[in-house]
Amino acid sequence: MVPGGSRVADRLKPTELTNALLLSSGGTSNVLKRLAGAGLVSREADDGDGRSSWVRLTRRGVEVAEDSVRAVTAAHARIVARIPEAEAELLNRMLRDVLAAVEEGVLVRR
């Protein structure tokens, strides 16, 4: 979701990707070059800022992303199916606490 918005962004700035993926700017640049070379993303200049660009998934990139999400979801379902119900509920509560801490910016307990 776009902050303050109601739909998924159809394009992002490389710096937004860097922050979302917790990569370095150089790491993001390398990944984007490889994805563009594979035809999975396109880059377009930002008309409002000549130093910046926008990154957008290509049609093929969307297909690969959707296939990846389905594969990961299926793998997670197989893992969770092996966990007894009581332990799954405990794990769910614990993961919610971790997610809340991450969203609050608390990454490391001191």
At 3-32, the pLDDT tens digits run 444 345 688 898 888 888 888 989 999 999
pLDDT of residue 75: 96
User: What are the phi and psi torsion angles at 25 (to 5°)?
Assistant: -65, -35
Say which residues have a Cβ less than 8 Å from residue 97's Cβ, sequence separation at least 6.
none
Q: pLDDT tens for residues 56-94? A: 999 999 999 999 999 999 999 998 899 999 998 999 999
- Say if CB 44 and CB 56 are below 8 A apart: yes
Alpha-carbon distance 50 to 31, whole Å?
A: 22
Q: Is the pLDDT of residue 54 over 70?
A: yes
3-state secondary structure of 51: strand
Q: What is the pTM of this model?
A: 0.64
